[in-house]
């Protein structure tokens, strides 16, 4: 019963939709409002530079997407989003996904990984990102409208990937 972190496969889509939509529908972390369908998920996940799943015995517990944070002269900095099934949070799965994404970002040629909108009330994510070496580089007051209609601050985080091959 070992954790496997790997590129997603077509047969993972139903589990990916379930886990992703759980985060979207909670309204406290992702900017998306509309949940994915299997059809929209297929297109969305295929459009990423990399989409990775975390599975144990072929059961999907989490995933991340990795892509350029911007275009052109800023495309050397990556962005990622992570989703972990609610029943599996607090077990270190998110940490493994973040570490893997840093390694994969470096392999893909990105110089850094930036998070644009870490919701201030998402204390678990903030703790994890800071613990693995991300630096908070700014705060946008009221930059996120949560699922209850309240405005919350969002933080921007950054970490270089240049040392990822040496255990970053």
Name the residue ranges covered by the structural domains of the chain.
3-166
CATH fold of 3-166? Aminopeptidase (3.40.630)
Mean pLDDT of the chain: 94
pLDDT greater than 80 at residue 165: no
Q: What is the pLDDT of residue 91?
A: 85
89 pairs with which residues across the strands?
Answer: none
The structure tokens listed for 115 are 């998070």
pLDDT value for 167: 43
pLDDT for res 106: 95
- Chain segment 76-124, per-residue pLDDT in tens: 999 999 999 998 888 889 999 999 999 999 999 999 999 999 999 999 9
């Amino acid at each position: 019963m070992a954790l496997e972190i790997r590129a997603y496969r077509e047969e993972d889509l139903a589990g990916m939709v379930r886990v992703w939509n759980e985060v979207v529908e909670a309204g406290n972390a992702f900017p998306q409002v509309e949940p994915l369908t299997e059809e929209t998920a297929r297109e969305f996940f295929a459009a990423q530079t990399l989409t990775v799943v975390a599975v144990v015995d072929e059961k999907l517990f989490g995933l991340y997407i990795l892509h350029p944070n911007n275009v052109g002269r800023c495309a050397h900095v990556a962005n990622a989003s992570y989703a972990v099934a609610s029943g599996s949070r607090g077990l270190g799965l998110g940490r493994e996904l973040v570490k893997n994404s840093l390694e994969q970002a470096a392999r893909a040629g990105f110089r850094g990984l930036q998070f644009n909108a870490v919701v201030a009330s998402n204390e678990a994510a903030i703790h994890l990102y800071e613990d693995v070496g991300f630096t908070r580089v700014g705060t946008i007051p009221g930059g996120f409208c949560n699922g209850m209609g309240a405005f919350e601050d969002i933080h921007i985080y950054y970490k270089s990937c240049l040392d990822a091959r040496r255990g970053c």
